[in-house]
Structures are given as C-alpha cells and as structure tokens.
Amino acid sequence: MLAQTSDQPDARQTPPTLPVPATVSPELQQAIAAPLRTDILVRPKTAREWRKLVQEADEQAAQVARLLWKQLGLTVTPSAIAGVQCFRLVPTSPLAPEGGRLLVHLHGGAYVLNGGEAATSEGALVAYSSKTTVISVDYRMPPDHPFPAALDDAVAVWQALIQEHDPAKTALFGSSAGGGLAMATVLRLKEQGAPLPGALFVGTPWVDLTKTGDTFFTNERVDNTLVSYDGMIEEAAKLYAGGRDLKDPLLSPVYGDLQGFPPSILISGTRDLFLSLTVRAHRKLRQAGVLADLHVFEGVSHAQFLTSFPSPESLEALQEVARFFDRHLAV
C-alpha cells in the first residue's frame, strides 16, 4: 500500500507533440490537422466588445447554416412559439407524419454565439439524419439577456409544444452550451412537475461552467476548436451566469439531481476539451439509474463530429443519434 501524504501529487508533463491519427478518415484528418483557433482566447470585457464579437461570428455561422439548408434539402421557416423566436426545419421526406414525433433543438455557442439563422446548423444535420422535423430555439442570450433568459425560453417553448405534441414522441437535444441548457431544461421541468422529453441527446455538453475536469488540462491546446477554458469560454461562463454561483445546477446541471431523466445519448471525442464533462454527465446519469449511451470518437475535438460533416465519422455520429431516437421515441 502506498504511504498516505497530505501533499498534492506533482503534475505530469504531457508529450510535446501529437501526430494526426492515421486511424480516422482522410476528411477528419484534415479537420484534426487544422491550426488552433486564436479568436477563442480573447477576453471580451464590455458589452460593446461582446456585441462586436457576436455579430462577426454570427454572420459567418449564418452563411454556413443557409448553405446546409440548401445542401440537405430542408424547408426552414421562422416562427414564434410562446413568444420565442424559433426555426422550423422540415426534411424532404419526414419519417413520421405531421403531428408525429418532433425534435426540439437548443443551439451551442457558449451561451453568447449563434443567434438567429446561425442557431440552426446542428438542428439541420439532425433533422436530415433523423428524417424528423426539428424546432430550433433561438433563445435570448447575453450581454443583454443573461441567465435565466435562455432557460426560461427553452422551458416556454417546450411547454407550448407539448400542448399539441405527445412528450413521449418528442426529444430535446443540443451540443456544447446547447447540451448544458438541454439538461438544465429537464431539471427545471422536473421542478415544475411537467412532462419530460421521451429522449435526450447532448453532444459534448457544457454541464459545468467551472474549470473542473481532467481534460480541461490534458486537452488544453490539443482541442483545436475550444483550445482552452482560459479565454472567451471563461468570460462567457461569467457573463451568462450574471453573478450567480457557477455551480448552481441550473447553470451547471452535472451538480443537479438527474434521477428520472429520459434515455440519453452523449457524444464526445478524445481531443475534446469537454470530454471530461461528457464523461462526468454520463456517469452521473448512470448513477441515477438513467439509460445513457456514451460515444467517444477518435481524434475529435469539441463538437467536431458536427463541424466535420460530411466526414464518415460525422455521418456515423448522426446515425447513432437517429437510431437512438428510433428506439426511444414512440411513433
């Protein structure tokens, strides 16, 4: 038995180089080989700085979204639900008739990015792969609308939709901040005694706004998408929280009571800065007795299973989600 000491063990040095894995597709290799983002390391401090950053990022993301709509053959219609701006994304050949199953999407973007049309890219991919109509919620965000605005919007849209749709046939999903918000939404619905989704998909979910988890350190500057917590991610967490304790379960749902959650599928990658958060969420769900599947893709950085579309790995991840919905949503 090792002797017990009160001292913190020394940190371990990681290898200085990390080759692009030969075990993934050529398409994914190109994504993995891309240089580290530098814009993610900025620290906006004022509302004016945030608005400038958001406007520039969202304009680019909206162009990507519109191209996806066309590429995937989706019909996209803006609409207001419970007073919240949303987008209805309908695939060419829906699996279920109108009034059948429905998917509700909460977009990622660190709770500050991807407003408007930019909110729809992930929803478009899931609508296409699942052959199911998606409602993508363009929830309010900081700097003008910190917590709990996003959560209030998500809950309001859910409550309105289930007046006309069977919750057992309706899933909630999102990645990154969208995954964290999806889990926080289920926690709030539990508090209200409201019907819960029939299934949940959370990709690389931001379920802890603090820098807590092994891969915040092991994957720092390995993940070429998020790169590091120390920059815009940390500032976004504080901006969204608006002075509230970052470990409040409605901000960081991994600290909440997950008993009674719907069947859940979680996806991450070996280079994802949020891999530990995904693993922690999965273990917390399993400890609560929830049926939960975890898929970790080789070499994938944060949400790269989406942004590398149509790489074979992206198609595989989306098919895993589609099959999960097929199994767990009533038809």
Q: Among 114, 256, 99, which residue's Cα sits nearest to residue 186? A: 256
pLDDT one-digit tens code per residue, 29-45:
999 999 999 999 999 99
Strand partners, 135: 88, 104
Give the pair of three-digit tokens for residue 285: 């769900």
Please state the rounded mean pLDDT for residues 78-89. Answer: 98
Higher pLDDT, 11 or 100: 100
In terms of phi and psi (left: phi > 0; alpha: psi -120 to 50; beta: otherwise), the region of 111 is left
pLDDT one-digit tens code per residue, 157-207:
999 999 999 999 999 999 999 999 999 999 999 999 999 999 999 999 999
DSSP letters spanning 66-81: HHHHHHHT-EEEEEEE
In the chain the domains, ranked by start, together with CATH numbers, are 40-328 (3.40.50.1820)
Cβ proximity of 106 and 172 under 8 Å: yes
pLDDT at 161: 97
Please state the rounded mean pLDDT for residues 283-308. Answer: 98
Pairing of strands 84-90, 75-81: antiparallel
Cβ proximity of 209 and 252 under 8 Å: yes
Q: What percent of the chain has pLDDT over 70?
A: 94
Strand partners, 264: 200, 292
pLDDT one-digit tens code per residue, 144-153:
999 999 999 9
Higher pLDDT, 133 or 330: 133
Positive or negative, the CA dihedral 278, 152, 157, 138 is negative
What is the end-to-end Cα distance of the chain in Å, rounded?
56
